Amino acid sequence: MVLTLRVLLTYSLALIFVPTALAQTNSVVNANVVSSVSATNSSFVADLAELPADGTSMVTLTATIVDANNLPLPQKEVIVTSNRGDIDTIRCYAGSTLTEENKATTDTNGVARCGARSLVPGEATFTATADTVILEDKPVVKFTPLPILTQLKITVKTPGGGQVTLVQPPAPSATPSSPTGEGLDHSPSSDKLVDTGINLQIPFWVFIITALFFLLIPVLLLIIIVLIRKIRLMIGAARKHAEAEEALLAKIYTLEQQVAQEQHAVTAQAQQVTVANEKLTDKIDQVSDQLSSNINGMSQTTSEAVTPTILETPSAPEVPPSEPQA
């Protein structure tokens, strides 16, 4: 590996007779330095191939940095990264202390150690970079999902002061010590379940009520089904009643329309009768007037014809009174 070093050299020339005049010359010198880290001979390994993704269990990642002659290289900075990014938490050691950084410095044996944990299941590939040299070894660690119920411990307090355990996770295996003696907690590769410390204590009366509730679920379901059926019947009856009311209202409306039509017809007929009566009355008046005029004419004619006849008729002879007979 070649390192480029930039050295800035400044030369200042001062004039003897002109102290205020100052000339500066800047130049850059590049130097190529080959790193002593061997990417092939150096190693980067994980002590576990598989562990639970519980956010607590950690895998130890150990980088041993050597040169081409397999000689250890102390005081080399090693940076550890994951291909999954920030979902994997990587913390490295500084001596025996676990730091908050993902980089460590090799000791006198050229060894740097880090730990990794995650809450996200899946496979993670870890990479170590020492002195800008990427090591060829890239361990793959699988974080396995953890069933919830296997991490949960449920106990019931009895009235006598004791307790009964209903659910309990399997006991975790003995935790090996960390590479430096402390601070790193992990399980063997065959141990996939750990106790996360969730302990749920249920009072006895709560347990009894819960048990009765689950026992009465079939009865409650039957009651609910019966109530739903009754509600459906009531809704059906109400719907039928509403339909009957709508039909009755439709009939009433039809009858009202018929009555209105008949009233309209009767009114029209009455108007026609009134008009006929008026016409008949007019005709009667006309006939009466005509008869009156005819009668008047006839009377005048008759009177004119009778009067001359009466004037021309001779008077009858006078008859002498008869004498009384003896």
User: What are 40-63's pLDDT values in tens digits?
Assistant: 999 999 999 999 999 999 999 999
Average the pLDDT over 129-145 and give the result.
94
Report how far residue 26's alpha carbon sits from residue 192's, in angstroms, rounded to the nearest whole number: 63
Using DSSP's 3-state secondary structure scheme, residue 214 falls into helix
Topology adopted by domain 43-209? Immunoglobulin-like (2.60.40)
Of 65, 58, 69, the C-alpha closest to 116 is 58
Identify which of 141-145, 148-152, 164-168, 303-307 has the greatest average pLDDT: 141-145
User: Rounded to 5 degrees, what are φ and ψ at 74?
Assistant: -80, 165
Average the pLDDT over 74-94 and give the result.
95
Cβ-based neighbours of 134, under 8 Å, separated by 6 or more: 39, 127, 128
Report how far residue 81's alpha carbon sits from residue 44's, in angstroms, rounded to the nearest whole number: 12
Average the pLDDT over 253-270 and give the result.
90
DSSP string, 135-157: PS---EEEEEP--SGGGEEEEEE
Domain residues of the chain, as ranges? 2-34, 43-209, 220-294
What pLDDT sits at residue 8? 34
- Is a pLDDT exceeding 60 seen at residue 265? yes
Identity (one letter) of the amino acid at 283? K
Report how far residue 94's alpha carbon sits from residue 79's, in angstroms, rounded to the nearest whole number: 13
Identity (one letter) of the amino acid at 80? V
Lowest mean pLDDT segment, chosen from 54-58, 202-206, 225-229, 276-280: 202-206
pTM of structure: 0.43
| 150, 209, 274, 279 from 198: Cα distances, Å | 10, 23, 104, 111
Q: What is the pLDDT of residues 161-219, one digit of tens each?
A: 777 776 666 655 444 444 444 444 444 434 444 445 566 667 777 778 888 888 888 98
Beta bridge partners, 3, equal: 33
Report how far residue 67's alpha carbon sits from residue 177's, in angstroms, rounded to the nearest whole number: 30
Using DSSP's 3-state secondary structure scheme, residue 282 falls into helix
Q: Is 80 exposed, middle or buried (0-12, 13-18, 19+ CB in 10 A)?
A: buried
End-to-end CA distance of the chain: 214
Report how far residue 152's alpha carbon sits from residue 201's, in angstroms, rounded to the nearest whole number: 11
What is the H or E stretch that residue 248 is in?
helix 217-312
Report how far residue 168's alpha carbon sits from residue 150's, in angstroms, rounded to the nearest whole number: 7
